[in-house]
């Protein structure tokens, strides 16, 4: 467990923010200082406000380049001096400079068992490829898209006759389990990045959930 003042986080969203909502409900040992979106119409902003969380909008359409947008976004994030920045359905590719600014304290969740199926349309691609196992991954963000040291993964079966929507719903229910767990570990100072791997102090694997890599004891 961490000592001293509770850590703070900022959550970045682009849409409904279901993973953000899961984090809000999880009674994490830290403070969600703000939710920031690149879209003023993101439904998750209303959800956050309803929970008493401060919100902000940095509209990417108001900035001529990715670099200009990321600079404005970083300025907004830094107002809260967060220990952790959490991407929860944030649909923007971040520049290397932004990623480097928050290196080791920038988490993302991706709807596949990385390194399989980076990018978009993961559920359709999983079905089309004929894999029988699919899932989701929480990882630290690096300049390589949908790569970076893996904190935790959850696996689900791909069932005969699965549709994209059915598989997505099955995966999403596990996203809502493992993202709060990963964030909790960070806030409790239980994560250690060792090269390309993450060590989790005291973690033990649970039924249906894969921890990657093996936990520290």
73 phi, psi to nearest 5 deg: -65, -45
Is 110 a catalytic site residue?
A: yes
Annotated catalytic residue within 110, 123, 174, 176 = 110
Q: What sign does the CA torsion over 217, 86, 111, 23 have?
A: positive
Q: What sign does the CA torsion over 74, 80, 83, 86 have?
A: negative
Q: What is Dmax (Cα atoms) for the chain?
A: 51
In whole angstroms, give the CA distance from residue 120 to residue 117: 8
Judge whether 113 and 137 are in contact, CB under 8 Å. Answer: yes
Q: What sign does the CA torsion over 182, 187, 190, 191 have?
A: positive
The set of catalytic residues is 110
């Amino acid at each position: 467990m961490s000592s001293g003042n509770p850590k703070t986080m900022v959550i970045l969203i682009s849409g409904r923010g279901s993973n953000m909502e899961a984090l809000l409900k999880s009674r994490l040992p830290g403070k969600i200082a703000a939710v920031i979106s690149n879209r003023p119409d993101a439904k998750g902003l209303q959800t956050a406000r309803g929970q008493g969380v401060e919100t902000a909008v940095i509209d990417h359409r108001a900035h001529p380049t990715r670099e200009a947008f990321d600079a404005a976004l970083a300025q907004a994030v830094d107002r809260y001096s967060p220990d952790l920045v959490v991407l929860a359905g944030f649909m923007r590719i971040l520049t290397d400079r932004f990623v480097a600014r928050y290196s080791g304290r920038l988490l993302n969740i991706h709807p596949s068992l990385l390194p399989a199926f980076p990018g978009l349309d993961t559920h359709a691609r999983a079905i089309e490829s004929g894999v029988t196992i699919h899932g989701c991954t929480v990882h630290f963000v690096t300049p390589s898209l949908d790569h970076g040291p893996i904190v935790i993964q959850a696996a689900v079966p791909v069932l005969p006759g699965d549709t994209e929507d059915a598989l997505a719903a099955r995966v999403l229910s596990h996203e809502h389990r493992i993202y709060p767990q990963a964030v909790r570990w960070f806030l409790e100072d239980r994560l250690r990045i060792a090269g390309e791997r993450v060590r989790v102090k005291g973690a033990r694997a649970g039924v249906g959930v894969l921890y990657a890599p093996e936990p520290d004891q």
